[in-house]
Amino acid sequence: MHPRVLITGGAGFIGCHLAEHLLNKGIEVHVLDDLSTGTILNIEHLKGQPGFTYTIDSVMNKPLIAELVDRSDEVYHLAAAVGVRLIVDDPINTMETNIKGTEILLKCAAKKGKKVLVASTSEVYGKSEDMPFREDQDLLIGPPSRARWSYACAKAIDEFLALSYTQIGKLPAVVVRLFNTVGPRQTGRYGMVIPNFVASALKNEPVTVFGTGKQRRCFGFVGDVVEALDRLMNCEKAVGEIVNVGNDEEISMEELAQEVIDRCQSSSKIVYIPYEQAYAKGFEDTMRRMPDLKKLESLINFRPTMSTGDILDRVIARFREEASQEAGS
């Protein structure tokens, strides 16, 4: 018999792909989302599918969370305030949602011993320059006077909470640190770089790169990521562990911008904007962020399948498809 699964943040970018993936395997899925950063359009195509239900409400609603956890066998906790733009603009909501929401969910799950996969972030590695990032290395987070680090601190507390419940035997929890997950249905509204680059390039508008453009990142395809999350949820050895999930193919932001322009056959030019202008005075960023994937490989024998170029082609195709649908409607 398939488990019944609850996905918090299930109308978000990763959550909706995960819901689709699990439903295709015949698993019952209930999505909870308050639509603060997710959108009902992400799960529109899932309505009416056998085994799919959803609730529009917040992870802060304790009685509701208790009920939904009771009805589920496993919980993927993806609900969070995400995106650099949102974090800089609203640090208080970021911390409250990410700490209190996780605390409520873990408490309810621990009462019934339900298995939880908690989505954390590569942001917790902070300003460390010790590459590639390993799950057991020290974290180097910037000062509290810089609002951008509030997200990293909140997610680190989520990790401590989840692992503490596991250590005292109340809850089988797996913590995953996600690295720049990208793909179709991701919006650029909260500072997500690839959708923003593609949207500009397709309109032949300037492609805006923040800072020097020398910052290097690794982009994981959402299809690979949800496959890894599914396998980790079902891996006994992953319980009580922190696991990096993403891709380890690096690219600089200016290389990425040029690659997008080339693949869109666009006449766009790259424009550089200082961080202070884009976000806030004294904004800090990390120059590299690359995961060590040895632990992921050893636990579930998994390697990402999609290269950065393949991912860009998928995203560009999706943007073009949506544009032609809009033009035709």
pLDDT tens, per residue, the chain with 329 residues: 678 999 999 999 999 999 999 999 999 999 999 998 889 999 999 999 999 999 999 999 999 999 999 999 999 999 976 656 666 677 787 788 889 999 999 999 999 999 999 999 999 999 999 999 999 999 999 888 887 788 889 999 999 999 999 999 889 999 999 999 999 888 766 557 899 999 999 999 999 998 889 999 999 999 999 999 999 999 999 999 999 999 999 999 999 999 999 999 999 999 998 866 655 555 567 789 999 999 999 999 999 999 999 999 999 999 998 888 877 76
The radius of gyration of the chain from alpha carbons, rounded to an integer in Å, stands at 19
Q: Locate the domains of the chain by residue range.
A: 4-186+220-248+287-306
* 33 strand-pairing partners: 56
Count Cβ atoms below 10 Å from residue 1 Cβ, excluding itself. Answer: 4
AA identity, residue 173: A
Intra-chain end-to-end CA distance of the chain, in Å: 43
Instruction: Give the amino acid at 157.
Output: I
Residue 73 to residue 6: CA distance in whole angstroms: 8
List the catalytic residue out of 54, 125, 151, 279: 151
CATH architecture of the domain covering 4-186+220-248+287-306: 3-Layer(aba) Sandwich (3.40)
Q: For residue 151, indicate whether it is catalytic.
A: yes
Q: Angle formed by the axes of helices 253-263 and 308-328, to 10°?
A: 50
Query: What whole-number distance in Å separates Cα of residue 261 and Cα of residue 258?
Result: 5
pTM for this predicted structure = 0.92
Nearest to 268 by CA among 316, 309, 220: 316
The token duo for 4 is: 């019944």
Sign of the four-CA dihedral 60, 51, 18, 309: negative
